Amino acid sequence: MTTATAALESCREATSLRRYVRRRAAGRGAPEWSTYDTALGAWVVADGEAAATSSGRPWRRVRQESEPWCGTLGRDLTIACDDDLQALFATLDEDDPGAWRTLWLEADRQPARCLADWRSRGRRLLSAIDGASMIDGGTLAAKFAARGGGKRSLTTV
């Protein structure tokens, strides 16, 4: 990949990251249904399938069956397919708009820098999990699945 192509790809990913975090902070998902408003002469987002099909206006489904889909950005899968970013986002609580708002403020100011920083933080999280999963030859989830094996367990008394 040439440097110009890499720069354009990085710019596109940074823009997608900014859009992704903005939509998550606002609590919005990707619209799957739309209706045609004749007064506006444009397709308008519908709240859901029931609202679109029962509105009495022409409707269409934006997402096709078996099409890959991001719940936040729709057809744009650049952020949904990035394991490093998704590892970082998995640490945030879904019901905590304050955390997403903080990320949004950072990404709005410097999306390219956030893309690099957040990917490296996600890489560190994934490497920590991978390193911890090699302990005792088992997975990290299996290590914590058994009850009574912690530092303060009463079974050792």
What pLDDT was estimated at residue 109?
96
Per-domain residue ranges of the chain = 1-28+76-135, 31-68
Task: Calculate the CA dihedral of residues 7, 76, 128, 106 and round it to 10 degrees.
Answer: 70
What pLDDT was estimated at residue 122?
92
What pLDDT was estimated at residue 50?
92
d(CA 45, CA 153) in angstroms, rounded, equals 54
The percentage of the chain sitting over the pLDDT mark of 90, rounded to a whole number, equals: 51
d(CA 138, CA 132) in angstroms, rounded, equals 9
- Whole-prediction pTM value? 0.73
Alpha helices in the chain (DSSP H): 3-26, 49-53, 83-90, 97-109, 111-133, 140-145
The pLDDT tens digits of the residues spanning 89-145 come to 999 988 788 899 999 999 999 999 999 999 999 999 888 886 655 555 555 555 555
The pLDDT tens digits of the residues spanning 62-76 come to 888 888 989 899 989
Mean pLDDT lowest among 12-16, 55-59, 95-99, 133-137: 133-137
- Would you place residue 157 in the very low, low, confident or very high pLDDT band (cuts 50, 70, 90)? very low
d(CA 17, CA 74) in angstroms, rounded, equals 13
